[in-house]
Amino acid sequence: MRLIAKKHLPRRTFLRGLGTAISLPLLDSMVPAHTALAATAAAPQIKLGLCFIPHGAVMAHWTPIGDGTNFEISRTLKPIEPFRDQVVVVSNLAHRMAAPLGEGDNGGDHTRSPAVFLNGVHPKRTDGADIRAGTTIDQIAAAKIGQQTPLPSLELATEDFSGLVGSCDVGFSCAYMNTISWRTPTTPLPMEINPRVVFDRLFGDGSSAKERLERIEQQRSILDAAMDQVRHLEGGLGPSDRTRVGEYLDTIREIERRIQLAEKQNANSSLAVPATPSGIPEDHREHTKLMFDLMALAFQADITRISTFMMCREVSYRTFPFLGFSESFHPASHHQNNPARLENLTKINTYHVELMSYFLGRLKATPDGDGNLLDHSLILYGSGMSNSNVHNHAPLPVFVAGGAAGNLKGGRHLKYPDDTPMSNLLLSILDKSGVPQDKVGDSTGPLTEL
């Protein structure tokens, strides 16, 4: 139940200081009490998070046993079991447009997988500037619901290969491999890997590079300069809003602290390695969690409602020594059905799902209107590849999570006929996001039962 606040605040209320503009989360006092607008203002706004992993999965350890609501969660998906009631595992989907089309189109599966993931469109085979794929669903949504927020969309990653040009995979441009987001069929969007850059995108309002540098050097939070405004604001809020604002600002300060720690570690490193951009943690787990935290923060403050996250890049040579083996990701994905290497790949798959579980927990712990961010989000997690050893594109490892603002019922394993287009799921995601389309890529219609 909503309590009547002491005063009404506009939804776009900002705290300003030190060259920043800090949006606030949705508060009870932003909903006009006893007015016809109250129900509309209180309606949850859907958040769309689209997360990509490369190299498919060991499907024997991914696919749950049983279907409908009576299924046993699989080994790889075990980390998301605490969120079972808000997860739908979708089996037997295929991205046919990621596969070769006819003679002369062999190879290139690693470039097509990310290029096709969110649009279902076969990319043009070229290693020149004349690239062409398809507008992705995040940008279709951004053209509509993204115009209601300061940032139409947010594109994140943990590995940067944007400096690579020319052919990256048998006649296909590196541009296809460097992103999963396309604003138009000829305009791929860059993915940002630096948490500091993302943080300043969310909260900077044109401050100079000099001011940002001074803030970093002084280890000063952007909140310090806004504390007078915070105290003034809190004086006019009800108890629940004061608590919500306090928790939100604590989250901002904690994320800043982690970014500053990474910057300090990078600055003090004596390793003879190329310069690392400020704010990127050396630890992959911390880096990924930080990017997830920034995505959640952007959703919480309604700075954006749409984000993509390339959690790892195709043909990644990242290693995972904390998992107990030295083989890097891409070689491990070409397991040749060797039991030991299949085990290594399964551990990598499970590790990535653990990171997703962290994100789902972060969303669920964050209040949003009359529920939480997970209730009001639709999160996609999956790959454009299935068995990486043979570079096939069906059946794909895919699940969706969240309540989609009341439009998605979790706790299910949905098994569709073999080779059901993944684009049908993309079409359904847009429909549940309030952006219905007649067709996406090679879709044949929205998924029934979803």
5 Cβ contact partners less than 8 Å away, ≥ 6 residues apart:
27, 28, 29, 33, 237, 238, 241
Is a pLDDT exceeding 50 seen at residue 36? no
Tokens of 31: 């909903």
- How far apart CA 375 and CA 391 sit, in angstroms, is 35
Is this structure's pTM higher than 0.85?
no
If asked whether residues 107 and 140 sit together in one domain, one would say yes
Residue 349 φ/ψ, nearest 5 degrees = -55, -45
Is a pLDDT exceeding 90 seen at residue 221? no
Is a pLDDT exceeding 50 seen at residue 227? yes
Per mean pLDDT, which of 70-79, 154-163, 171-180, 290-299 is the most reliable?
A: 70-79
Strands 412-421 and 87-94: parallel
If asked whether residues 178 and 319 sit together in one domain, one would say yes
Tokens of 37: 């607008």
If asked whether residues 142 and 215 sit together in one domain, one would say no
If asked whether residues 160 and 215 sit together in one domain, one would say no
pLDDT score of 222 = 55
- How far apart CA 305 and CA 152 sit, in angstroms, is 7
Closest CA to 354 of 288, 282, 258: 288
CA 308 vs. chain centroid, Å, equals 4
If asked whether residues 246 and 181 sit together in one domain, one would say no
273 pLDDT band, cuts 50/70/90, is very low
If asked whether residues 326 and 423 sit together in one domain, one would say yes
If asked whether residues 60 and 147 sit together in one domain, one would say yes
pLDDT score of 348 = 98
Asked if the structure places residue 100 within a domain, the reply is yes
Q: Is there a contact between 136 and 148 (Cβ–Cβ < 8 Å)?
A: no
393 Cβ contact partners less than 8 Å away, ≥ 6 residues apart:
94, 95, 96, 98, 99, 109, 113, 384, 385, 386
Is a pLDDT exceeding 50 seen at residue 277? no
If asked whether residues 314 and 440 sit together in one domain, one would say yes
CATH classification at residue 167: 3.40.720
Each residue of 209-219: b (16+ CB within 10 Å) or e?
eeebeebbeee
If asked whether residues 35 and 81 sit together in one domain, one would say no
Asked if the structure places residue 299 within a domain, the reply is no
If asked whether residues 162 and 53 sit together in one domain, one would say yes
Is a pLDDT exceeding 80 seen at residue 157? yes
Arithmetic mean of pLDDT over the chain: 83
pLDDT score of 164 = 52
If asked whether residues 409 and 365 sit together in one domain, one would say yes
If asked whether residues 32 and 60 sit together in one domain, one would say no
pLDDT score of 161 = 63
Residue-wise pLDDT for 66-112, tens only, equals 999 999 999 999 999 999 999 999 999 999 999 999 877 888 899 99
Tell me how many domains the chain contains. Answer: 2
- How far apart CA 115 and CA 203 sit, in angstroms, is 30
The whole domain housing 179 covers 46-193+285-293+304-450
Is a pLDDT exceeding 80 seen at residue 126? yes
Residue-wise pLDDT for 370-422, tens only, equals 899 999 999 999 999 999 999 999 999 999 999 999 999 999 999 999 999 99
Peptide bond into 395 cis (omega under 30): yes
371 Cβ contact partners less than 8 Å away, ≥ 6 residues apart:
44, 403
